[in-house]
Amino acid sequence: MQKKSLQSLWSSRFIFILAATGSAVGLGNIWKFPYITGVNGGGAFVLVYLLCVLAIGIPILMAEILLGRRGRKDPINCLKYLAAESGKSPLWKLLGWMGVIAGFLILSYYSVIAGWAMAYVPYMASGMFSGQGSDFINQQFDSLVSSPTTLVAWHTIFMFMTMFVISKGVRRGLENAIKYLMPTLFILLLVLLFYSYNYGAFSQGLSFLFSPDFSKISSDGILSAMGHAFFTLSLGMGAIMVYGSYLPKDASITSSAIWIALFDTIVALVAGMVIFPIVFANGLEAAAGPGLIFKTIPVAFSQMSGGTFFGSLFFIVLVFAAWTSSISLIEPAVVWLMDKFSVTRFKASIILGFLVWSVGLLSAFSFNILSEVTFSQSIVTSAGEFVILKDASIFDVLDYLTSNIMLPLGGLLIALFVAWKMKKEYVHQEIAAHPIIFPAWQFLLKFVAPTAVLIVFMNALGILAFIMK
Ligand code: PHE
């Protein structure tokens, strides 16, 4: 089997931060964060999400970069190798497996949603929304998702784009794209923020986002907030591990992780501050679900001068942001396949691209011809009934399974591995022994992150209520 010790490295730490930020910032920030915040009632959800980023996300982000840089392999071989290095069970590679599968499943539906964003580029550019109200805009969204052929067409194009970059090798395409992309995305968000501030119900939007009302959040909402902290930071599945494996030895992991998390969080919060003022000013539904940004952002552009131009640009940039995330979702699987079967990058890309595309059809159809296929699951304990899934579509189930279960579980195991299983001296070789940051990180990783993930899991399953009764 070929060893990848000679793997090429990022040209600098700055490029690593850019690439990891490119992975982190995507549909999760701009599409998913506002939509699940709306569904889960706002402020309390946002607060739990922020706490999770801080206390669980950043420490695990550091741990995952560390594993990647030390192992310099795909997640499966990386964990196998690092477990052996510290004299631990080879079964740790199963954690790598779970990550590779999670990335595969996430990409399958991620590509469908990225397809929606692509469909909006011509909508915007044609000027069909200009001067239109939210009724027309809602209708347009509904007619898009009810057409299986349109969704599959865009999903296909997006998968092609993703696998094209992957087949060329991530580094070459990525470095340049991200350097321009991230600043553009951010500037456009600021333009939108300016609009929301002037024309939206700004203070109502802000209070929805930032004044927590804990009666509005359920145990399941808390689980979603935690799951989203993992999703948005691309954590728990090996994407960051693979990117970390290209990180030069002398770069600081701590400050890289803090920058990535900071930027990712700011983008999400600004997206929320753009969207909710528009929602409230136009009498729209905060809990509109996955269509939320597609029903609100066009309203802003339809009323703005230059909206056709800025609106098209916004969705183009959103597609790019999704693109830089999607390649990181499948890169672990590609590196693994190349290594395992000694196939070329090109072949590995074609095989995986086709498989992900096929699974993605299920999500595309779950908005139309398969919308009747739903799943409900709840757990009844003597402490009450705990709803796990309620009339969930195939898309909802895939999302729940990956973000709420697989990513946090992956993150939990990464924390346990680095904090408890890896030899101390190896950890010290990777992370600088700062007198405050190092012990704080160890504490969070050893005790806080694992306990928090377990408590949130048990809470959502009703186990906690059962015990405390
Ligand atoms: N973080 C990406 C986003 O927010 C999604 C993602 C999840 C990417 C997991 C890689 C791994 O859009």
For 89-145, the pLDDT digits (tens) are: 999 999 999 999 999 999 999 999 999 999 999 999 999 998 898 899 999 999 999
Side chain identity, residue 450: P
Please name the residue whose Cα sits nearest to atom 11 of ligand 1: 234
CA of 190 to the centre of ligand 1 (A): 22
* CATH code for position 67: 1.10.4160
The pLDDT value given to residue 151 = 98
Atom of ligand 1 nearest to the CA of 407: 9
Is the pLDDT reported for residue 182 higher than 90?
Answer: no
Atom of ligand 1 nearest to the CA of 231: 7
The pLDDT value given to residue 5 = 39
| Mean pLDDT (whole number) for 209-225 | 93
26 lines ligand 1 (CB under 6 A): yes
Distances (CA, A) of 400 to 182, 257, 284: 28, 26, 25
Distances (CA, A) of 191 to 188, 195, 314, 420, 462: 5, 6, 10, 46, 44
243 lines ligand 1 (CB under 6 A): no
| Nearest CA-CA partner of 363 in 134, 158, 161 | 158
Is the pLDDT reported for residue 174 higher than 80?
Answer: no
Model confidence at 3, in pLDDT bands (50, 70, 90)? very low
SS3 at position 386: strand
The pLDDT value given to residue 262 = 97
Is the pLDDT reported for residue 192 higher than 70?
Answer: yes
27 lines ligand 1 (CB under 6 A): yes
Please name the residue whose Cα sits nearest to atom 6 of ligand 1: 234
In degrees rounded to 5, what are phi and psi of residue 123?
Answer: -55, -50
402 in any annotated domain: no
237 lines ligand 1 (CB under 6 A): yes
Atom of ligand 1 nearest to the CA of 322: 12
Report the percent of the chain where pLDDT is more than 70.
96
The pLDDT value given to residue 301 = 87
DSSP structural state of residue 400: I
CA of 106 to the centre of ligand 1 (A): 8
Hey, which of 37, 234, 401 would you mutate to test ligand 1's pocket, going by the most ligand atoms within 8 Å of its Cβ? 234
How far does CA 265 lie from the centroid of its chain? 12
216 in any annotated domain: yes
For residues 36 and 235, give the distance between their C-alpha atoms in angstroms, rounded to a whole number.
18
SS3 at position 410: helix
329 lines ligand 1 (CB under 6 A): yes
The pLDDT value given to residue 380 = 83
Atom of ligand 1 nearest to the CA of 325: 8
453 lines ligand 1 (CB under 6 A): no
| Mean pLDDT (whole number) for 148-157 | 98
The pLDDT value given to residue 453 = 95
Residue 165 vs residue 118, higher pLDDT: 118
272 lines ligand 1 (CB under 6 A): no
107 lines ligand 1 (CB under 6 A): no
Model confidence at 2, in pLDDT bands (50, 70, 90)? very low
| Nearest CA-CA partner of 76 in 58, 60, 48, 95 | 95
468 in any annotated domain: no
| Nearest CA-CA partner of 27 in 298, 232, 266 | 232
Q: Which of 24-28, 70-74, 367-371, 442-446 has the lowest mean pLDDT?
A: 70-74
Model confidence at 78, in pLDDT bands (50, 70, 90)? very high
211 in any annotated domain: yes
For residues 402 and 104, give the distance between their C-alpha atoms in angstroms, rounded to a whole number.
10
Average pLDDT, rounded, for the chain:
91
Residue 147 vs residue 306, higher pLDDT: 147
Q: Which of 24-28, 55-59, 175-179, 457-461 has the lowest mean pLDDT?
A: 175-179
Per-residue model confidence as pLDDT tens digits over 238-282? 999 998 988 888 889 999 999 999 999 999 999 999 999 999 998
Q: Quote the tokens at residue 85.
A: 């290095």
Model confidence at 447, in pLDDT bands (50, 70, 90)? very high
What's the farthest any 2 CA atoms get from each other in the chain? 66
CA of 64 to the centre of ligand 1 (A): 14
CA of 356 to the centre of ligand 1 (A): 16
| Nearest CA-CA partner of 141 in 120, 158, 126 | 120
Is the pLDDT reported for residue 177 higher than 60?
Answer: yes
- CB-based contact 68:241 (threshold 8 Å): yes
Whole-model pTM? 0.94
Total domain count for the chain? Answer: 1
Please name the residue whose Cα sits nearest to atom 7 of ligand 1: 234
97 in any annotated domain: yes
Q: b/e for 291-308, b at 16 or more Cβ within 10 A?
A: bbbbbbbbbbbbbbeebb
409 lines ligand 1 (CB under 6 A): no
Per-residue model confidence as pLDDT tens digits over 312-360? 988 998 998 999 999 999 999 998 999 899 999 999 999 999 999 999 9
Max mean pLDDT range (238-247, 282-291, 362-371): 362-371
Is the pLDDT reported for residue 405 higher than 90?
Answer: yes
Q: Quote the tokens at residue 88.
A: 């631990």
Model confidence at 173, in pLDDT bands (50, 70, 90)? low
CA of 347 to the centre of ligand 1 (A): 24
CA of 328 to the centre of ligand 1 (A): 8
138 in any annotated domain: yes
The pLDDT value given to residue 378 = 86
| Mean pLDDT (whole number) for 421-437 | 91
380 in any annotated domain: no
CA of 94 to the centre of ligand 1 (A): 21
360 in any annotated domain: yes
Owning domain of residue 307: 6-370
Model confidence at 421, in pLDDT bands (50, 70, 90)? very high
Task: Name the residue with tokens 């052996």.
Answer: 84
408 lines ligand 1 (CB under 6 A): no
The pLDDT value given to residue 168 = 84
23 lines ligand 1 (CB under 6 A): yes
Is the pLDDT reported for residue 4 higher than 60?
Answer: no
Atom of ligand 1 nearest to the CA of 328: 10
Atom of ligand 1 nearest to the CA of 102: 9
- CB-based contact 179:18 (threshold 8 Å): yes
Model confidence at 169, in pLDDT bands (50, 70, 90)? confident
